[in-house]
Amino acid sequence: MQDSNHDNHHTENVQDHLKQVESLLHKHALLEMVAHRQVIPREDRHVVVDSLLHKQHLAELHRKLDDLHPADIAYILEALPIDQRLLVWDLVKSERDGEILIEVSDAVRDSLIASMNREELSAAAGQLDTDELADLAPDLPQNVMRDVFKSLSIEEREQLREAMSYSEDSVGALMDFSMIHVREDITLEVVSRYLRRFDELPDHTDQVFVVNREDKFIGVLPINLIVVNEPELSVSSLMLTDTIQLHPEEKADQAAQAFERYDLVSAPVIDEDGKLVGRVTVNVVLDFIRTESESDLLNQAGLREEEDIFASVWKSAQNRWLWLALNLCTAFFASRVIGGFENTIEKFVALATLMPIVAGIAGNSANQTTTIIIRSMALGQITQGNARRLLIKELAISGLNGLVWGGVAGLFAYFLYHNVALGVVMTSAMLLNLLVGAIVGMIIPLALQKFGRDPAIGSSVMITAITDSGGFFIFLGLATIFLV
């Protein structure tokens, strides 16, 4: 039974693996309790038949883990609480440590690295390619990096230095060095002979790169063309020269868009002298896109970085504090705006009940505007030509919303307090604040981008600050003029 999992692990769902590991860990924990003569919960006693089982279960867990793909182990490690995570981590065969460390999220990686000593870390790092090592390097202690560096060849040291020299959001950071290159003046026959000298080609080799005698990139030769064409044809007659070329300093985001747009599997990376320095493959782009979109969602809620869901309360709280502190400041400011109208509210307490409506709806509407604008900006679709046009459109939508929903809110106020003037003030304040929302919802992301900041971060705090304080000011101000 224990071996029945062996051959079909890829067709199973990774969640099933997680459940199996959890159940084995549960049994293991119970057996530990037996070993330490602790009291076992009644419903779990049937599991503990015999203390021989203890070793059996651990062995079963071991086997189960050996069967799994490193990415699946990474997934399971992320889903386990720290104590169980470290138990499983100890059971994983040490020759796979490197691969798994590359796969886990940054937060979880920290917890794993903290449990390893210098020798283990050096051994794990030694299993990696230079481009993977560059990703891991910032998390490794300096003495480990020194060990690793010593063990590299001169070429590998050069690659590692290069890979680490690029900023995290550049093509250079996505690049690997496992590309195959050939000369243009040979035949497919010769290329095939050359390729047969490899036991296997590097992953994602959908094309080999064609370079001239000075190592300058001149084109690509898709593997599929080698397969469908006669062996006597020359590389130069088949190679494609009109292809995507990436540059190491280019934004990773641009490269990702190129992969999506042109359906690439791999693309050459060329330096300013026209030399082939590496390649980017689609699996790395996929990870990049997923990570980016996740950090967009996290940033929107003011989470500074991905959280290990089992991190300590203290660590998680720190991840969330900046955002709460910022929001508290803007809330204090809004509170002082209201404070300026205390006399008005004292005379007309209905205002206190209605003012959150004015602030809230404009905030929602402004966030819709910003979401649309930030998305179009990310796609590069906002040009000087259409920015004014879009602002007018957003103002028109807000005007329409102001009449419709402001009207509804005005009626709500009128029916509650039987005061026509209050209803009119409510509608006018909604309309004005929605217009304010459209303007700031459009201008703040554009301004952040102009100053070189990421518009997805921070836009929403600023917008909410303005629609809140602005809404209170407009509504209470109009009320002071027309009602009191």
Q: How far apart are CA 365 and CA 403, in angstroms?
A: 13
Binding of a second copy by 383 (CB under 8 A): yes
Lay out the site mask for a second copy across 227-246 (x = CB under 8 A, - = otherwise).
xxxx----------xxxxx-
Binding of a second copy by 352 (CB under 8 A): yes
Binding of a second copy by 15 (CB under 8 A): yes
Residue 358 Cβ vs a second copy, minimum distance, rounded to whole Å: 9
Q: Taking CA 245 as the corner, what is the angle to CA 243 and CA 246, rounded to the nearest 5 degrees?
A: 150
Nearest Cα to Cα of residue 471 among 413, 417, 414, 402: 402
Binding of a second copy by 192 (CB under 8 A): yes
Q: Residues with Cβ < 8 Å from 49, sequence gap 6 or more?
A: none
Binding of a second copy by 349 (CB under 8 A): yes
Binding part of the chain for a second copy, among 42-50, 128-136, 155-163, 362-370 by CB under 8 A, reads 362-370
Nearer to a second copy, 261 or 418 (CB): 261
Exactly one of 36, 42, 46, 261 binds a second copy (CB under 8 A); that residue is: 261
Number of neighbours of residue 366 by Cβ within 10 angstroms: 30
Cβ contact 13:72 at 8 Å: no
Nearer to a second copy, 166 or 348 (CB): 348
Tokens of 96: 């796979």
Nearer to a second copy, 140 or 466 (CB): 466
State the virtual CA torsion across 225, 231, 234, 235 in degrees, nearest 10: 40
Q: Report the DSSP beta bridge partners of residue 187.
A: 234
DSSP state of 249: T
Nearer to a second copy, 78 or 97 (CB): 78
Contacts 24+ apart (CB under 8 A), 431-434: 431/399, 431/402, 431/403, 431/406, 432/402, 432/474, 433/358, 433/359, 433/361, 433/362, 433/467, 433/470, 433/471, 433/474, 433/475, 434/361, 434/362, 434/365, 434/398, 434/399, 434/401, 434/402, 434/405, 434/406
Binding of a second copy by 181 (CB under 8 A): no
Binding of a second copy by 151 (CB under 8 A): no
Cα separations (Å) of 415 from 403, 423, 479?
18, 9, 17
Nearer to a second copy, 119 or 328 (CB): 328
Binding of a second copy by 484 (CB under 8 A): no
Binding of a second copy by 4 (CB under 8 A): no
Binding of a second copy by 364 (CB under 8 A): yes
Q: Residues in contact with a second copy, total (CB under 8 A)?
A: 131
Binding of a second copy by 83 (CB under 8 A): no
What would you report as the CA-atom Rg of the chain, rounded to the nearest whole angstrom?
Answer: 31
Binding of a second copy by 415 (CB under 8 A): no
Q: Taking CA 80 as the corner, what is the angle to CA 79 and CA 84, rounded to the nearest 5 degrees?
A: 165
Exactly one of 5, 22, 96, 253 binds a second copy (CB under 8 A); that residue is: 22
Exactly one of 183, 323, 439, 443 binds a second copy (CB under 8 A); that residue is: 323
Residue 276 Cβ vs a second copy, minimum distance, rounded to whole Å: 14
Residue 143 Cβ vs a second copy, minimum distance, rounded to whole Å: 32
Residue 115 Cβ vs a second copy, minimum distance, rounded to whole Å: 20
Binding of a second copy by 411 (CB under 8 A): no
Nearer to a second copy, 122 or 363 (CB): 363
Binding of a second copy by 390 (CB under 8 A): yes
Exactly one of 5, 320, 424, 483 binds a second copy (CB under 8 A); that residue is: 320
Binding part of the chain for a second copy, among 34-42, 45-53, 272-280, 382-390 by CB under 8 A, reads 382-390
Q: What is the DSSP string of 269-329?
A: EE-TTSBEEEEEEHHHHHHHHHHHHHHHHHHHTT--S---TTS-HHHHHHHHHHHHHHHHH
Residues 200-219 that bind a second copy (CB under 8 A): 200-201, 203-206
